[in-house]
Amino acid sequence: KTTSDLMQSEEKVQEVKFGELIRNKADVELALRRAQAAVLNPNKPQTDYLRMTVAQLKDLRNELKFSRNTVCVQLSGPELTDLAFVDLPG
């Protein structure tokens, strides 16, 4: 890609908040699974996934196998090392 192509791609990046702030570390895995399901099913409202159980997510037939979108998570707290998690496409 040319520099111009890359710059245009970067301009299209948009961060979308998904769900509420997570305060219990036990809830992180389910939140990640829900976010991933929302990314793999772009034709349905994201809110459809916010209340899904693990069983529902496992039974879900995703529209896409892969997405160019990413799931990003930032973890921070007084007893944590600051950490960013990115689920890259593919």
Q: For 74, list phi and psi in degrees, rounded to 5.
A: -115, 125
Identify whether the C-beta of residue 65 lies closer than 8 Å to the C-beta of residue 76.
Answer: no
Beta bridge partners of 86: 72
Q: Is the pTM of this model over 0.75?
A: no
Find the largest Cα–Cα distance for the chain.
44
Which tens digit of pLDDT belongs to each residue from 50-89? Answer: 999 999 999 999 999 888 887 777 777 787 776 666 666 5
CA atoms within 13 A on the CB side of 35: 21
Rounded to whole angstroms, the Cα distance separating 69 from 44 reads: 15
